[in-house]
Amino acid sequence: MPDTVLLCYCTCPDAGSAAMLAETLVSERFAACVNRISGVTSTYRWQDRITTDSEELLLIKTTAERFEALKARLLELHPYKLPELIAVPVEHGHSAYLDWVRDGVSG
């Protein structure tokens, strides 16, 4: 459903790239809101090695209709070769807030 609100997760290597992505996604109406959570520690396998890094987590609010455009812009700007981008549909929430998200990415 195109007007389904999505909560997208994306990690960034530092506060500067996280701030730039958040500002861009909101100002260009790919997202209605982006929360930045610092102090995230990620452990993952990359190029056959186990790695642990400090990252910032972005919680991006958008709609299913805007997701592909958001993904294209994020992949264009993100400093990682393979950025995390996971979208989860919001099944329940405060309807006025969800309408605000929809309105924030339209137009």
The CATH number assigned to the domain holding 25 equals 3.30.70.120
Instruction: Report the pLDDT value the prediction gives residue 63, as an integer from 0 to 100.
Output: 98
pLDDT 10s digits, 9-42: 999 999 999 999 999 999 999 999 999 999 999 9
How far is the C-alpha of 26 from the C-alpha of 39, rounded, in Å?
22
Share of the chain above pLDDT 90, in %: 97
Phi, psi angle pair for 61, to nearest 5°: -105, 120
Domain that holds residue 62: 5-105
Q: How many domains does the chain have?
A: 1
Instruction: Report the pLDDT value the prediction gives residue 19, as an integer from 0 to 100.
Output: 98
**CA-closest candidate to residue 75, choices 14, 44, 30, 43:** 30
> Cβ(89)–Cβ(2) under 8 Å?
no
pTM reported for the whole predicted model: 0.95
State both tokens at 27.
């100002």
